[in-house]
Amino acid sequence: MARNKIPEHLEEARTFEEDRVSAAKRSEKIAWRVATVAGLISIVSVGAVAALTPLKTVELRTIRVDNSTGIVDVAPRVEDTASYPETVARLHLANYVRAHERYFYGIAEHDYEFV
């Protein structure tokens, strides 16, 4: 009786090996598909970053911190729209107003002569 079962066992072993080989091939196909999709996603991602690179701009801001209170604020930006004579006139006007409104005993005479 045992001799009659030998071909049966050999057939089961052969089909088991065939199943293992087909499962390995199927797993390899799935792995290649996943790798292809991952590669395509990475190529599209690099393309998206390359396409968005020209849109990036650097905006410089000056941040001030008040030493006594610790309040943080963003300093206003200076626009270069004023001409040189206008800038000089504003400087002299600011100096005049400062000298006219302040009073320090040490520089009072200088401010009086300046105004």
The answer on 78 and 42 residing in a single domain is: no
Query: Which sign, positive or negative, has the C-alpha torsion 103, 105, 106, 112?
Result: positive
The answer on 91 and 71 residing in a single domain is: yes
The answer on 69 and 50 residing in a single domain is: no
Q: Which of 90, 112, 94 is nearest to 103 (CA)?
A: 112
Quick one: average pLDDT of 111-115?
79
The answer on 49 and 10 residing in a single domain is: yes
The answer on 9 and 36 residing in a single domain is: yes
* pTM score over 0.85: no
The answer on 7 and 51 residing in a single domain is: yes
Whole-number Å distance between alpha carbons of 76 and 62: 8
Task: Tally the domains of the chain.
Answer: 2
For 77, the domain range is 63-114
The answer on 47 and 30 residing in a single domain is: yes
C-alpha distances in Å from residue 42, one per residue of 39, 80, 89, 107: 5, 44, 59, 70
Percent of the chain with pLDDT over 70: 97
The answer on 74 and 37 residing in a single domain is: no
Confidence band of 3 (pLDDT split at 50, 70, 90):
low
The answer on 69 and 34 residing in a single domain is: no
